[in-house]
Amino acid sequence: MTKTMGEIENTNSKYTTKKAIAEAEKKVEKSLVKPNETGLGGLGKATEAIKNLEDLKSKKIRTWEGSDPKTRLEVKASANITENQNVEFRLRDWKGLTHRNNKNDKVDEYYLQHTYNFGKLGDSKVDFALESRFQVEKADEKFIRERFNFDFAEYLFNNDYVKTTAAVLAPEFKYAWTHSDNHTETYGLYADYQADIIGGVTFEAEFEDLFAHSRENVADGKDKKGNKGDLEFTLNRPTTLYAAGKHKVVFEPKLQYATSWAYNKKTIENEVAGITRTNGKKEKWGNYTAKFEPIVKYSYQATEYVKLMANVGAEYKNRNDARHSASHWRWQPYAELGMRVNF
């Protein structure tokens, strides 16, 4: 899973970003079309939005977001309510550590997920599980999703060089909506392949959308449709540096690459996936993220049921993820403290 690094806007800075300008342009457009419905408050707010856009355009454009110190509280609970059923809940709440990024006082993300494992299908070696999720992101973005997981791992590689641990294909349906009348329906196919390969290396290829047909119902315009896909490759090589009694130290050097694509030109035109360059050329491959993330993990088994954890790591990541500008790499150090309790 990829950590989500928050973004801030430093209004006192002499710099801005292309992303900030694009968001300001959208606010101006919304305030002029239907100011009351967008919650921007009429002509006064429209004037304010225009002034903000002009102010941003007067600044120098930088290609990375700069420093953004913050903390993240994560609470996760998982319970097996029957032999075949599991319920999982996770909450993530970000807080800024400076006067300019500590304004958000809302929980940023949480989800509730129920999984029913049906076991093997007939006489086959295919595991089947039904996964239902409700998730809230950024307070005003929500979705529900049904995913039908078929795991074919036992039919694939299992030798001295490659041992398949998961090979999931999953048809899914997702319905997402915001605080406005806009909503999106997505039908697609999820895929995830995980394996232990020679040398103690782990590999994962996750296609959140191997293929997905998305239809966005826009309240003030024509529906936007498109066929898209996205992927994430991860390589890791966990190494135990120290283990004695209740103490353990593990080093993980993760390499990760993620991108998305559009299956046809119409998908790019509808801004569902793909990119349109400044010269008007349309490309099916979207923005990408590439990073190197070394982590040192320490754990202490305090009791039979309680484990304490402390992690230190850093992401070396392209902070500007536009395809033709992804060359501004920056280190993002972080530290984590955690506790796991089993009942």
Q: What is the mean pLDDT of each run of 10 residues along the chain (343 residues)?
A: 34 54 69 54 64 65 56 94 97 78 68 98 98 90 97 96 98 90 92 97 97 86 90 98 98 96 92 82 87 97 97 86 64 93 91
- Residue 71 falls inside a structural domain: no
- Residue 51 falls inside a structural domain: yes
- Residue 47 falls inside a structural domain: yes
- Residue 46 falls inside a structural domain: yes
Separation between Cα atoms, residue 309 and residue 337, nearest integer Å: 6
Give 3-52 pLDDT, tens digit per residue: 333 333 333 455 565 666 667 777 766 666 555 544 445 566 667 777 77
- Residue 326 falls inside a structural domain: no
- Residue 230 falls inside a structural domain: no
What's the domain count of the chain? 1
- Residue 24 falls inside a structural domain: yes
- Residue 25 falls inside a structural domain: yes
Q: Provide the residue range defining the domain that includes 22.
A: 13-62
